[in-house]
Structure 1
Amino acid sequence: MREFLVEITTDIPEGTDPADVDRRRAAEAVRAKELAATGNLVRLWRPAGELRSIGLWRAADEAELREKVLGTLPLRSWMTLVVTAVESHPNDPGKPDATS
């Protein structure tokens, strides 16, 4: 599986029924737990003081990530995504040492 950093900005359209927003947010929380259980959602952060998120996601490729993973999020139609494929850096302090 490949890893991706995904920046997500959610913009709720003006005039949207607050009950619809609440329903979708509740469904989003459920779906995030499901995607974490399958290993697709690894970590999720919110920059301090901002209403966007940055997540570490896994999928076979970017097409699968966009279509079969992120495309299943209940808030997806209100989201703007920036997807960046990432790979391990040789100097990553969190990378297991192959020589030990």
Structure 2
Amino acid sequence: MREFLVRITTTVPEGTAPQEADRRRAAEAVRARELAAAGHLARLWRPVGELRSIGVWRAADEEELRAKVLGTLPLAPWMTFEITPLEPHPNDPGDGSAAP
């Protein structure tokens, strides 16, 4: 699987009932756990003081990421996604091969 940096901004449409937004947010948390268990969601952050997310997601390619992963999020109709494909860096200390 490839890794992607995904910046997500969610905008709840004006006039949406608070109960509907709450229902979708609760369903979103469940779906995020499912995607993490399946290996698609590796990490997720929220910048301090902001209502957006930044995450590392995994999929075979960007098409799969959009259609079969991000597209299954309950809040997806209210989200915009900025997707950046990632590749390993030779100096990445996380893979254990970087020179000291």
Query: Is 1:11 the equivalent of 2:4?
Result: no
Corresponding letter in the other structure for 1:15: G
SS in 1 for 2:43: strand
Q: How many residues align?
A: 99
TM-fit CA distance, 1:97: 1.8
Structure 2 equivalent of residue 62 of structure 1: 62
Offset from partner CA, 1:8-48 (integer Å, 9 cap, x none):
00000111010100100000000000000000000000011
Alignment partner, residue 53 of structure 2: 53
Once superposed, what is the RMSD of the aligned Cα atoms?
A: 1.3
- 1:98 deviates by 8.1
Query: Residue 28 and residue 44 in structure 1: after superposition, are their counterparts in 2 closer, same or farther (change >3 A)?
Result: same
Q: Which runs of 5+ in 1 are unaligned?
A: none
| Deviation beyond 3 Å, 4+ runs, structure 1 | none
CA distance in 2, matches of 1:36, 1:97: 26
Provide the rounded CA distance (Å) in 2 between the counterparts of 1:32 and 1:92. 27
TM-score, length of structure 2 as denominator length: 0.95
SS at match of 2:4: strand
